[in-house]
Amino acid sequence: MRRIVDDARLRAWLAVAAWAAVISFMSGGWFSGEHTSGVLLPILRALLPQASSEELLALHALIRKSAHVAEYLVFGVLLVRALREEGLRGAALAIAAVGLGVAFAGLDEFHQSFVPSRTPSPRDVAVDATGLAAGVGLAVGRFAGFLSPPAEN
């Protein structure tokens, strides 16, 4: 029994570490606004030929911020899973997951201060925290039974 619990804990924390590595990779120069605009703007221009340059730039920014929310939503779910393996429940679980996630988001922005094509931003930490809170809320709600599928008759 002990071995099964240890394996589950290890897998949960490895998933957190792997996703943190994905987030860190996406914080590198390849995923800067400067680089993603070279890929996304031509696609957006082709899809929306009537859109102005300002509208396309705004849509590009929205896509980039949505990516922040999505990656931290996943991170929040993984943190809840790992912290549940450590025995945390309820408010303590949610607070710990959000705290760890926001701390990582701050470290990620600090990391970006060393990447020439990136600019660290407290606003991005707030965007990250939004995704994180959504992921934590979904995961805690699911584990608490609020988001369970209906029982079959």
What one-character-per-residue DSSP string does 23-55 give? HHHHTSGGGSHHHHHHHHHHHHHHH-TTS-HHH
Provide the pLDDT confidence category of residue 119 given band limits of 50, 70 and 90. confident
Lowest mean pLDDT across 5-9, 59-63, 66-70: 5-9
Residue 43, in any domain of the structure = no
Give the pLDDT score at 37. 87
pLDDT for residue 126 is more than 60: yes
pLDDT for residue 58 is more than 80: yes
Residue 41, in any domain of the structure = no
Provide the pLDDT confidence category of residue 35 given band limits of 50, 70 and 90. confident
Give the pLDDT score at 30. 75
Higher per-residue confidence, 35 vs 11: 11
Residue 102, in any domain of the structure = yes
pLDDT for residue 1 is more than 60: no
Domain count within the chain: 1
Exposure of 111 by Cβ count < 10 A (0-12 exposed, 13-18 middle, 19+ buried)? middle
Residue 124's φ and ψ, nearest 5 degrees, are -65, -35
Mean pLDDT on 48-57: 96
Give the pLDDT score at 31. 81
Amino acid at 10: L
Provide the pLDDT confidence category of residue 149 given band limits of 50, 70 and 90. low
Tokens of 94: 């949610």
Mean pLDDT on 98-104: 98
Residue 51, in any domain of the structure = no
Residue 151, in any domain of the structure = no
Residue 84, in any domain of the structure = yes
Residue 50, in any domain of the structure = no
Residue 78, in any domain of the structure = yes
**Domain containing 111: what range?**
2-24+65-144
Higher per-residue confidence, 112 vs 153: 112
